[in-house]
Amino acid sequence: MASFRWNSKTTRAWIYQALVLIVVVSLVAWLLSNTLANMKARGIQSGFGFLFETAGFDIGESLIPFDSNEAYWKAFLVGLLNTLRVSITGIFLCTIFGVLIGVGRVSGNALARGLCYVYTEFFRNIPLLLQLLMWYILLVEVMPDPQEPLHFNEWFFLSKGGLAFPILSWETSWIPLWDLPYFVEGEILGGATLTPEFLAITTGLTLYTTAFVAEVVRGGIQSVSQGQVEAAQSLSLSPWQITRWVVLPQAMRVIIPPMTNQYLNLTKNSSLAVAIGYPDLVNISNTSLNQTGHAVECIAIVMLVYLTLSLITSVLMNAYNRRVAIKER
């Protein structure tokens, strides 16, 4: 029990942390109690019971079946799935493009290096909201009408109605077959279609975040000692082999932590989808808030979801960081 004496630094540290926690919890409880009391005095409804009431509105884009007779909780679920759809797609694409452009930023080819530099400076210095609006206007105003779509190899059709493309289908056979889109009498049938809203938010988030990921990758590569590269060159390794087997593995310990921040930023920036009408979690929350008046509850749900997504992302990236970290003996 000697370690719990007051003159022990460990004991004092635990006591101070406990006191801070008590103060924070008490403050939050007081704020919550005061807020609920004020809402009740003004006749404002509170509580999460509205989640089981009928939503009464349709959602234009959903990964699961939904209609206006469904409950609010399912509407929030649809919004969450749409947010995850954009975030996961954006993270996957910005990782690939960011690594390629980051490598290009330190390439020995002057043209490739210059083009990658222009890309990063252009996209990271224009506000994301403006980029989203630009892509959305391009897709819904500049693209041809659905009756006269652009087509590529008769497999892809692009118009104001979105992008139609082939997709694997198991509906008619145990063996997956290609379900191809085809154009008949001014209408595209078959395949799958991505809406202009999804294309705009995904494209904007991907291109914007790619610029920051590329800079993270560039910094990680330049952190590797030049002696490592020269040693690899002495073994007659090609530039690609040097990058793949020597530089990138060592650069990962520098790349992963700031890369986690970019993934978190992309997920949170997906909330800007409300500006172009994509039915993400924030969009659904705003609609529910306006219909029910449960502002505190709707905002609390959105905050909790984004906090949970951020924590999950951080845990996964920290686990991967520990895996790739250089082990010192």
pLDDT single digits (tens) 284-305: 999 999 998 888 889 989 999 9
Phi, psi of 21 (to 5 degrees): -60, -45
Q: Using CA atoms in the order 229, 234, 238, 241, what is the torsion angle rounded to 10 degrees?
A: -50
- The residue among 319 and 38 whose pLDDT is bigger is 319
| DSSP state, residue 140 | I
**What is the Cα–Cα distance from 164 to 286, expressed in whole angstroms?**
30
Q: Is the pLDDT score of 281 beyond 90?
A: yes
Closest residue by Cα to residue 161 from 189, 185, 133:
189
Q: Measured on CA atoms in the order 215, 217, 218, 223, is the torsion positive or negative?
A: positive
* Mean pLDDT for the stretch of residues 258-272: 94
Give this prediction's pTM: 0.83
**326 — pLDDT class (breaks 50, 70, 90):** low
- pLDDT confidence of residue 43: 66
pLDDT > 70? residue 45:
no
Q: Contact at 8 Å (CB) between 317 and 260? A: yes
**pLDDT value at residue 327:** 61
184: tokens are 């008949």
Determine which of 165-179, 191-205, 214-228, 308-322 has the lowest per-residue pLDDT on average: 165-179
Q: Which domains does the chain have, with CATH numbers?
A: 72-182+192-324 (1.10.3720.10)
Among 26-40, 114-128, 165-179, 250-264, where is mean pLDDT lowest? Answer: 165-179
294 vs 46: CA distance, rounded Å: 6
How far is residue 40's CA from residue 311's CA, in Å, rounded to a whole number?
33
pLDDT at 167 over 90: no
| Res. 322: pLDDT tops 50 | yes
Mean pLDDT of the chain: 87
Q: Is the pLDDT of residue 127 over 70?
A: yes
Provide the token pair at 168: 């694997």
327 or 18: which leads in pLDDT: 18
- Beta carbons of 256 and 317 less than 8 angstroms apart: yes
Residue 1 has what pLDDT? 44
The pair of structure tokens assigned to 147 is: 């009756």
Query: Cα 265 from chain centroid?
Result: 7
Check residue 165 and give its pLDDT: 87
CB contact at 8 A, 297 and 46? yes
Rounded to whole angstroms, how far apart are CA atoms 191 and 116? 35
Residue for token pair 């952190």: 223
Contact in structure between 250 and 226 (CB atoms under 8 Å): no
For residue 329, pLDDT over 70 is answered with no
pLDDT digits (tens, 9 = 90+) for 192-235: 889 999 999 999 999 999 999 999 999 988 888 888 888 888 88
Share of the chain above pLDDT 70, in %: 92
**pLDDT category, 171, cuts 50, 70, 90?**
low
130: CB partners within 8 A, 6+ apart: none
Contact 76, 282 (CB under 8 A): no
Strand, coil or helix: what is 192? strand
Looking at the chain, the whole-number percentage of residues with pLDDT higher than 90 is 50
